[in-house]
Structure formats: C-alpha cells, structure tokens
Amino acid sequence: MPSHMKAAVIRQFGTASVLQLEQVPCPLAGQDEVLVKVHAAGINPIDFKTRMGTGINRGWKDIRFPLILGWDISGIVVESRSPRFRPGDPVFSLARFPAIGGAYAEYAAVPAADLALKPQSLDHIHAAATPLAALTAWQALFDNAGLSSGQTVLIHAAAGGVGHLAVQLAKRAGATVIATASARNREFVLSLGADQFIDYSGTRFEEHVRDVDVVFHTIGADYRPRSWSVLRKGGWLVSITGQMPDDEPAKFGSKGKFVTVKPSGMQLEKIAGMIDEGSLRISVEQVYPIADIARAHEHVEQGRTRGKVVVSLDA
Ligand SMILES: NC(=O)c1ccc[n+]([C@@H]2O[C@H](COP(=O)([O-])OP(=O)(O)OC[C@H]3O[C@@H](n4cnc5c(N)ncnc54)[C@H](OP(=O)(O)O)[C@@H]3O)[C@@H](O)[C@H]2O)c1
C-alpha cells in the first residue's frame, strides 16, 4: 500500500473553492474494516451542505481539518480485516455516515458492515451513484412509512437522486406513484414508472391529489404544510428535508417523521440484487474527474440534477 494518496480535502468550511487536491497519508483499516481502492465517489446535497458548514458536520463534536468529505464509494478491496470481504472484491458503500466518510480519495477505510458487493451489472460510476440515495428511498418508504402493494404514494422531486430511485422502488413494491418535477423532466419521470406526473412549476399538486397513503417529502420548504392536505386520515408523511415538530402529524390526524439515512451493507446487498435483476436503474447525469470536484459540487448545488452526479478517481 502506498504511504500517501491523492485526496480532495477541505481545510475550512466555505464555497466550492475550499476543495483542494492534496497528497495525504493513506488511511488504515481498523478491526472489521476494509481498505478500498476508490474508483468513483457519488456527490449528494449533504456533501455541499457539509462543505459549507451547514450539513451533517453540525452533529460532529470534534472537527479537525483537513477533512475528506464524501460518503458514496465504489471500488475494489485491497486489504481486509473482516471475514466478509477479500482483496479483489468489487464493493460499494455508504461509508460511515453521519461520521466523516472519506470518499473523495484514492483509498478509504470502510466498516465491513457498511459494504456490499457491487452490482455486477454496474460500472464503478453507476455503483457510486447508488448507496446514499437508494438507502434513503428504501428506509423512508418501507422501514418508516411502511409503503405496501396497492397503496398510493406522492413522491416529490421525483427526478432527483433520491426521487428517481424512490419512484422505481415504490412501483416495484406494487404502489401507485404520483410524482412531481418540472416539465423538462416529464418523460424521464414517466419512464421510471410513475403513474401520474405533476409539473410543480405550473400546477399546485394539492389541487390534483387527494387521499394518498404516503407522501415522500424530499424538497420544497413549503411542501410539508401543503402535503398534509393530500394525505388520507392515518396516512404517512415521511420527510428527509427540514425538521418536523413532534406534534405536527397528530394535528392532521396522520403519522409523520423526519428520517436520516443509515448505512447498511445488508440493505445494499438487496439493492444490488434489484439492480442486477433489472428492476432498478441508476441514472447519472454527469461525471467529473476528481480534479474538477469543485465543479461537481457546484452542479449539485444548483438543485436541478436529473439522477446523480459522480466524481471519478480514475480520470
Ligand atoms: N435526511 C436524509 O437522510 C437525506 C438523505 C438524502 C437526501 N436528503 C435531502 O433530500 C433532498 C433531496 O435530495 P436529492 O439527492 O434527491 O437532491 P437532488 O438530486 O439535488 O434533487 C434535484 C431534483 O430536485 C428537483 N426539484 C427541485 N425543486 C423542486 C420542487 N420545488 N418540486 C419538485 N422537484 C424539485 C429537481 O427537478 P426539476 O429540475 O424538475 O425542478 C431535481 O431533479 C436534499 O435536500 C438532500 O439534502 C436527506
């Protein structure tokens, strides 16, 4: 193993310009961890929020710069201190979230519990695009809201990283899917299997939707208050954006919760199976070389990504 590696680090919170390529010491794999040669790292909105100092870092007690951000990884195991993985295994992961993930680097030490074998049908770029978004959609829709066959779900921001996977997972589970996005994403969202498309820029969704079983609240500061009115009594509003007061769901005779994604190698294994059987498609809008990681952050910061943005460590 080389003693040093290339990594995109930050030495302070700030704009995308704080991301700098440097040579830094290689991490060491601890007990029950593996060392992964990273080929690609997925970029999520939490990456730029944390880079700005307004993201998941707010829960960190002891912040020591330089930091290597990023959580979505696809690569090859080069050293294993876990019986579950061997050198040479292709793997993907949501690494260590909500602690520091270290994805923007040539090597990352990852807990074996956060890893699964990469879907065989995906290259590293598409595999790196998958973990955080897919686990978020899965855990929100099924582990929390309990979405099941025959139910109807309203999915906001259906063209985004989380949304485009949520639409497919909900359809696969036998739900009817109503999806919001802007008009330019109509064909894309319908191609994912959505039953009904609402262009949020020209239409107020609450005028076209009623009595749904589940709302997946992913975006839009005013969407949560408006979304309660489209739920059936006893329905579920599951949110991944904006904290929700504990007493709010009961005021509307419904259930609701803000959820934070958790790493899970076991769930990623199931997601890999769905990808390989052809029932889950990952859409990557753009790939940047690691040297252009600031541009990759700025791209995601626009909030208009269709699918995902990924950084290549090979380029
Ligand atoms: N709590 C958690 O654990 C967790 C996990 C993952 C993500 N998140 C958060 O969830 C949010 C979504 O994440 P993401 O990765 O899916 O983001 P993303 O990929 O950046 O979302 C971009 C999409 O949002 C759509 N969009 C923007 N404004 C919209 C609106 N008003 N109504 C409907 N669609 C709209 C855009 O579609 P158009 O271009 O058509 O407008 C675009 O396709 C972010 O705030 C992220 O930080 C939280």
Please tell me whether residues 22 and 108 are part of one structural domain: yes
Q: Are residues 247 and 288 in the same domain?
A: no
- Could you tell me if 201 and 169 lie in one domain? yes
Residue 266 covered by a domain: no
Q: For ligand 1, what atom is nearest to the CA of residue 200? A: 32
160 lies in some domain: yes
Considering the domain architecture, whether residues 254 and 286 belong to the same structural domain is answered as no
Å from CA of 78 to ligand 1 middle: 34
- Ligand 1 nearest-atom number relative to CA 55: 47
Do the domain assignments include residue 267?
Answer: no
The Cα 170–Cα 146 span in angstroms is 11
Q: Is residue 273 situated within a structural domain? A: no
- Do residues 92 and 172 both lie within one domain? no
Q: Are residues 99 and 36 in the same domain?
A: yes
Per the structure, the complete domain to which residue 68 belongs is given by 4-130+282-312
Specify the number of domains making up the chain.
Answer: 2
Tell me whether residue 270 is in a domain: no
* Ligand 1 nearest-atom number relative to CA 46: 47
Q: Is 224 in the pocket of ligand 1 (CB under 6 A)?
A: no
Q: Ligand 1 pocket check: which of 132, 138, 162 to mutate, most ligand atoms within 8 Å of Cβ? A: 162
The reply to whether 83 and 190 lie within a common domain is no
Prediction pTM value = 0.98
Q: Is the CB of 176 under 6 A from ligand 1?
A: no
Pick the atom of ligand 1 nearest to 260's CA: 3
What pLDDT, on the 0 to 100 scale, is given for residue 243?
85
Nearest CA to ligand 1 atom 40: 182
CATH number of the domain to which 161 belongs: 3.40.50.720
Per-residue confidence (pLDDT) for residue 1, from 0 to 100:
79
Same domain, 37 and 119: yes
Report the Cα–Cα distance between both ends of the chain, in Å, rounded: 20
The one-digit pLDDT tens for each residue of the chain (315 residues) are 789 999 999 999 999 999 999 999 999 999 999 999 999 999 999 999 999 999 999 999 989 999 999 999 999 999 999 999 999 999 999 999 999 999 999 999 999 999 999 999 999 999 999 999 999 999 999 999 999 999 999 999 999 999 999 999 999 999 999 999 999 999 999 999 999 999 999 899 999 999 999 999 999 888 999 999 999 999 999 999 988 999 999 999 999 999 999 999 999 999 999 999 999 999 999 999 999 999 999 999 999 999 999 999 997
pLDDT at 221: 80
Instruction: Determine if ligand 1 sits within 6 Å of the CB of residue 218.
Output: yes
Confirm or reject: Cβ of 241 under 6 Å from ligand 1: yes
Is the shortest distance between the CB of 55 and ligand 1 below 6 Å?
no
Q: 111 in a domain, yes or no?
A: yes
- 101 and 137 assigned to the same domain: no
Q: What is the CATH number of the domain that holds 120?
A: 3.90.180.10
* Residue 156 Cα: closest atom of ligand 1: 33
Using CA positions, which residue lies closest to atom 2 of ligand 1? 260
Domain co-membership, 108 together with 198: no
User: Do 152 and 226 share a domain, yes or no?
Assistant: yes
120 within a domain of the structure (yes/no)? yes
Same domain? For 11 and 103 the reply is yes
Domain presence at residue 269: no
